[in-house]
């Protein structure tokens, strides 16, 4: 999916002994929006905007080691190894030969370093040039900034497509606001700008500017504009919409003290898991302190200052916990962290209360977007069919007010609240509206200049679309808890005129360890191309009933 941007130059920072100026270059191809103000909460803003940068560069996908050099070395010395083995040389001669080879290699390395030094320096200069002149090749997508009558907020998504970050600042963060115009735009945000953020100090005046001059029409100085065209994978945009849509779902909510987040991060720093399950298990009892168990070590954190206010006892397991280290910088400046859990294996949200600012960290159900968790299409599926005329009325109303609750717009338009909620949910799924978990309101926010092709983004592959249709049909299954914590699912899925026998084995890490089906897709591909639509439908049907059946 191609995104076009045009920035009026680069975002810049000017720093003197007494003043720091932060100027973001907006996308001039979008409708004009700007903001100029002087920061009051400087240090808290510095830590929050730095945490947002940590989200942008986050990439926890597995990266295999590069063994090319080792394989070349083995190939070059294979004949020598074979000859020495066949000659039956003694140990002393072998050790002497090894020492001789080490000395020769050291000499070769020193000569190589001297010969390659000019090349290495030139290559580094080239990469530095690319980083300064072509930042879009280093950062997948620049953050989105939205200016509303009550606050401005930054949004971004991680490179591994699993982490969402949002920094909201109400106008008390600024002691002086010179000018602003509401709207949404992309801003040029580089690593060099991040380094300059680290120089923000409490004793220096700091001005934040989304430069309005970037929208001036200049026909004689086109070279001042920087054209950027980024071809984003559909999965990236789909993930952004999936996490945004998840915010509208009912959640299990409770508060954690900043020291509780510190204890989680401390244990994650101290220990490295070598086996599964690698989950974070929340044990929630009404009126009792929240208990957090880090598996597989069984380390318990009793949050004595964080009492669970919910009505029923329950346990929720989340994965991809190392992404919580992003919150480390916020611990000293946060008053509390509000946790929103959708359920086991589903997205979760952590909202840091920074006083006049709030930082939302949204985590998908799993760090990696592997096929074991494909099929989370229920987060994007329509919940209520709404007439297009009602949708248009609701969107016009939110364009006028910028933000509000479903009840507010229902009263304003004299329309049923359920219909308004359905329309707002549809616009959230389309990337035109965002649900603000911090204030529980819907906000106008156009993710892109042009409307996103929702029909194309809704499903990751055709099998997910077919599985969504199968969920409306007849699905029967019997779950069996195994001794090792895994769950064996055996069931039937009716597709058309035929009924398919399907089996799944889901381990303690919520991964599909083995599966089987008598459909043609599975017979031809096994699991090499991921699960078939019948497996996806069976798993989704089980996920909807697992809590009521006692499987967590």
Domain with 446 in it: what CATH number? 1.10.10.10
Q: Are 305 and 254 contained in the same domain?
A: yes
Tell me the C-alpha to C-alpha distance, in Å, between residue 307 and each of 392, 485, 546: 43, 28, 26
Q: Are 260 and 362 contained in the same domain?
A: yes
- The predicted structure's pLDDT at residue 366: 75
- The predicted structure's pLDDT at residue 102: 81
Q: How far apart are CA 237 and CA 232, in angstroms?
A: 7
Residue 552 placed within a domain: no
pLDDT confidence band for 441 (50 / 70 / 90): very high
Q: Is the pLDDT of residue 135 over 50?
A: no
Cβ atoms of 22 and 209 closer than 8 Å: yes
- How many domains does the chain contain in total? 5
Q: What is the pTM of this model?
A: 0.72
- Give the residue from 368, 393, 425 where a domain finishes: 368
Tell me the C-alpha to C-alpha distance, in Å, between residue 244 and each of 400, 407, 434: 22, 20, 7
pLDDT confidence band for 452 (50 / 70 / 90): low
Lookup: tokens for 243: 């996490």
- The predicted structure's pLDDT at residue 87: 63
Q: Are 265 and 341 contained in the same domain?
A: yes
The mean pLDDT value of the chain amounts to 79
How buried is 419 (Cβ within 10 angstroms: 0-12 exposed, 13-18 middle, 19+ buried)?
A: buried
| Residues of the domain holding 224 | 1-57+143-150+169-232
- The predicted structure's pLDDT at residue 549: 62
Greater confidence (74 vs 412) lies with 412
Q: What is the mean pLDDT of residues 267-281?
A: 88
The continuous run of DSSP H or E covering 100 comes out as: helix 91-133
Tell me the C-alpha to C-alpha distance, in Å, between residue 242 and each of 22, 31, 223, 444, 494: 32, 26, 38, 17, 28
What does residue 546 show for φ and ψ, rounded to 5 degrees?
-65, -35
Q: Are 276 and 356 contained in the same domain?
A: yes
The Cβ of residue 172 has, within 10 Å, a number of other Cβ atoms equal to: 12
Q: How far apart are CA 98 and CA 105, in angstroms?
A: 10
The sheet with strand 433-436 has its strands ordered as 403-404, 441-444, 433-436
Q: Are 49 and 192 contained in the same domain?
A: yes
Share of the chain above pLDDT 70, in %: 74
Greater confidence (254 vs 416) lies with 254
Q: How far apart are CA 503 and CA 471, in angstroms?
A: 16
Least confident of 72-76, 292-296, 315-319, 452-456: 452-456
pLDDT confidence band for 16 (50 / 70 / 90): low
Q: Are 502 and 526 contained in the same domain?
A: yes
Least confident of 61-75, 201-215, 244-258, 283-297: 201-215
- Long-range CB pairs of 512-520 (<8 Å, 24+ gap) are 512/371, 512/372, 512/539, 513/486, 519/495
- Give the residue from 457, 485, 510 where a domain finishes: 457
Q: Are 194 and 288 contained in the same domain?
A: no
pLDDT confidence band for 405 (50 / 70 / 90): very high
Best-predicted range by mean pLDDT (6-20, 88-102, 329-343): 329-343
Q: How far apart are the first and last CA of the chain?
A: 37
Residue 244 placed within a domain: no
- The predicted structure's pLDDT at residue 137: 44
Cβ atoms of 491 and 538 closer than 8 Å: yes
- Give the residue from 342, 368, 394 where a domain finishes: 368
Q: Is the pLDDT of residue 225 over 50?
A: no
Q: What is the mean pLDDT of residues 333-338?
A: 95
Greater confidence (489 vs 179) lies with 489
Residue 377 placed within a domain: no
Least confident of 80-94, 299-313, 457-471, 498-512: 80-94
Q: Are 53 and 194 contained in the same domain?
A: yes
Least confident of 177-181, 234-238, 315-319, 370-374: 370-374
Q: What is the mean pLDDT of residues 323-338?
A: 95
- The predicted structure's pLDDT at residue 371: 41
Best-predicted range by mean pLDDT (284-288, 364-368, 461-465, 508-512): 284-288
- The predicted structure's pLDDT at residue 129: 61
Q: How far apart are CA 224 and CA 8, in angstroms?
A: 6
Q: Are 264 and 364 contained in the same domain?
A: yes
Q: Are 440 and 329 contained in the same domain?
A: no
Q: Are 341 and 471 contained in the same domain?
A: no
Tell me the C-alpha to C-alpha distance, in Å, between residue 191 and each of 138, 331, 450: 9, 23, 28
Least confident of 32-46, 103-117, 156-170, 238-252: 103-117
Q: Are 52 and 175 contained in the same domain?
A: yes
The pLDDT tens digits of the residues spanning 507-525 come to: 776 677 789 999 999 998 8
């Amino acid at each position: 999916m191609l995104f076009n941007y045009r920035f009026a130059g680069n975002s810049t920072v000017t720093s003197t002994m007494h003043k720091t100026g932060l100027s973001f270059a907006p996308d001039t191809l979008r409708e004009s929006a700007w903001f100029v103000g002087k920061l009051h909460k400087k240090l808290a803003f510095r830590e929050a905007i730095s945490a947002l940068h940590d989200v942008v560069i986050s990439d926890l996908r597995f990266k295999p080691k590069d063994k090319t050099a080792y394989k070349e070395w083995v190939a070059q010395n294979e004949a020598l190894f074979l000859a020495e083995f066949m000659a039956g040389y003694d140990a002393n001669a072998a050790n002497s030969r090894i020492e001789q080879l080490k000395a020769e290699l050291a000499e070769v390395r020193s000569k190589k370093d001297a010969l390659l030094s000019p090349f290495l320096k030139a290559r580094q200069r080239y990469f530095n040039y690319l980083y300064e002149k072509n930042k879009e090749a280093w950062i997948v997508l620049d953050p989105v900034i939205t200016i509303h009558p009550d606050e401005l907020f930054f949004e971004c998504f991680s490179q591994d497509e699993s982490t969402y970050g949002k920094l909201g600042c109400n106008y008390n963060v600024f002691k002086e606001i010179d000018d602003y115009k509401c709207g949404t735009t992309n801003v040029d945000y580089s690593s060099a700008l991040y380094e300059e953020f680290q120089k923000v100090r409490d004793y220096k005046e700091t001005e934040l500017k989304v430069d309005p001059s970037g929208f001036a029409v200049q026909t004689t100085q086109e070279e001042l504009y920087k054209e950027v065209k980024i071809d984003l994978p559909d999965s990236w945009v789909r993930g952004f919409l999936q996490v945004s849509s998840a915010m509208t779902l009912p959640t299990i909510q409770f508060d954690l003290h900043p020291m509780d987040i510190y204890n989680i991060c401390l244990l994650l720093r101290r220990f490295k898991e070598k086996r599964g399950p690698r989950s974070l298990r929340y044990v929630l009892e009404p009126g009792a302190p929240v208990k957090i168990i880090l598996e597989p070590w069984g380390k318990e954190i009793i949050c004595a200052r964080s009492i669970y206010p919910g009505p029923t006892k329950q346990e929720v397991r989340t994965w991809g916990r190392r992404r919580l280290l992003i919150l480390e910088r916020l611990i000293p400046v946060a008053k509390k962290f509000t946790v929103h859990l959708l359920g086991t294996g589903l997205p979760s949200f952590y909202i840091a209360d920074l006083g006049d600012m709030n930082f939302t960290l949204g985590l998908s159900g799993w760090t990696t977007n592997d096929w074991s968790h494909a099929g989370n299409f229920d987060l994007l599926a329509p919940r209520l069919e709404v007439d297009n005329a009602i949708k248009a009325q609701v969107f016009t109303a939110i364009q006028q007010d910028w933000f509000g609750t479903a009840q507010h717009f229902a009263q304003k338009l004299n329309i049923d609240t359920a219909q308004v909620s359905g329309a707002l949910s549809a616009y959230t799924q389309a990337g035109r509206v965002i649900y603000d978990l911090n204030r529980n309101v819907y906000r106008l926010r156009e993710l892109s200049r042009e409307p996103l092709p929702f029909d194309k983004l809704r499903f990751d592959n055709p099998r997910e679309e077919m599985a969504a249709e199968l969920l409306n049909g007849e699905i029967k299954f019997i779950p069996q808890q195994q001794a090792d914590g895994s769950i064996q699912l055996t069931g039937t899925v009716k597709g058309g005129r035929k009924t398919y026998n399907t089996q799944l084995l889901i381990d303690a890490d919520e991964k599909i360890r083995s599966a089987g089906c008598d459909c043609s897709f599975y017979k031809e591909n096994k699991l090499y191309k991921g699960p078939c639509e019948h497996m996806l439908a069976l798993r989704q049907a089980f996920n909807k009933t697992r809590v009521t059946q006692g499987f967590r």
